[in-house]
Amino acid sequence: MRTFIAIELSDSIRSTLARIQSHLKYSGADVKWVEEKNIHLTLKFLGEITEEKSKKIKAILDEISMSTKAFDINIKDIGAFPKIDHPRVIWAGLDKGAIESKVIAEKIDEELSKIGFAKESRPFAAHLTLGRVRSSKNKEALKEKMLNYRLPTTDYRLIIDHITLFQSTLTPKGSIYTKLHESKFSV
């Protein structure tokens, strides 16, 4: 099964992110937008794993969660990887929670390397993927929309109190995510 470890988002934060996507869609850019229900904060993509390996992963996630405290996240801005002039991935960034997410991702990366997973080659950057750019069509208009977008002044915060192991099933209509395991934080 194809899997990843992530932080789930509340419906209200996903709704806010969908409004950002709607604003950016007016650019006419060729972007494959992530479905609202599928937006999450990926901590580590695992790829194909066996049922036996999933048991070890669940135990590791439970162990990490026992020493992790709940924390807030909030949306700070939007941007693009590798850079806004040549976007491949459109994202929403975090302000609060970025450091805590990074610490958890690094712990997961370290512990999973002990059971055969390759360590990440790039440093972790806490972000919520909104879409993937498929071509350069209307990229200047997209850049302009991104640079001029201002998040509403409402405070979009969420308390994070667990991490989740998901299965990702690829279908012609898009990915379907199934929750396999949830590890609650200690406090």
> Cβ distance 164 to 75 under 8 Å?
no
169 token code pair: 């099933």
119: domain CATH number? 3.90.1140.10
- Quick one: pLDDT at residue 95? 85
- Model confidence, pTM: 0.91
Mean pLDDT, range 159-182, rounded to an integer: 92
Number of domains in the chain: 1
- Quick one: pLDDT at residue 158? 82
3-state DSSP assignment of residue 28: coil
Q: What is the DSSP letter of 154?
A: S
Catalytic, out of 40, 86, 162, 181 = 40
Integer angstrom CA distances of residue 72 from 30, 99, 108, 173, 183:
33, 11, 19, 33, 17
- Quick one: pLDDT at residue 105? 97
Type and span of the H or E element at 15: helix 11-25
State the SS3 of 84-142: CCEEEEEEEEECCCHHHHHHHHHHHHHHHHCCCCCCCCCCCCCEEEEEEECCCCCHHHH
Q: What is the pLDDT of residues 134-159, one digit of tens each?
A: 999 999 999 999 999 887 656 567 88
CA-CA distance, 185 to 39, in Å (whole number)? 21
- Quick one: pLDDT at residue 155? 58
Q: Is 77 left (phi over 0), alpha (psi -120 to 50) or beta?
A: beta
Active site residue 86: no
Q: What is the pLDDT of residues 51-80, one digit of tens each?
A: 999 999 999 999 999 999 999 998 888 999
Catalytic, out of 23, 86, 127, 162 = 127
Domain that holds residue 156: 2-184
- Quick one: pLDDT at residue 149? 87
Active site residue 40: yes
- Quick one: pLDDT at residue 109? 97
> Cβ distance 53 to 171 under 8 Å?
no
CA-CA distance, 107 to 101, in Å (whole number)? 10
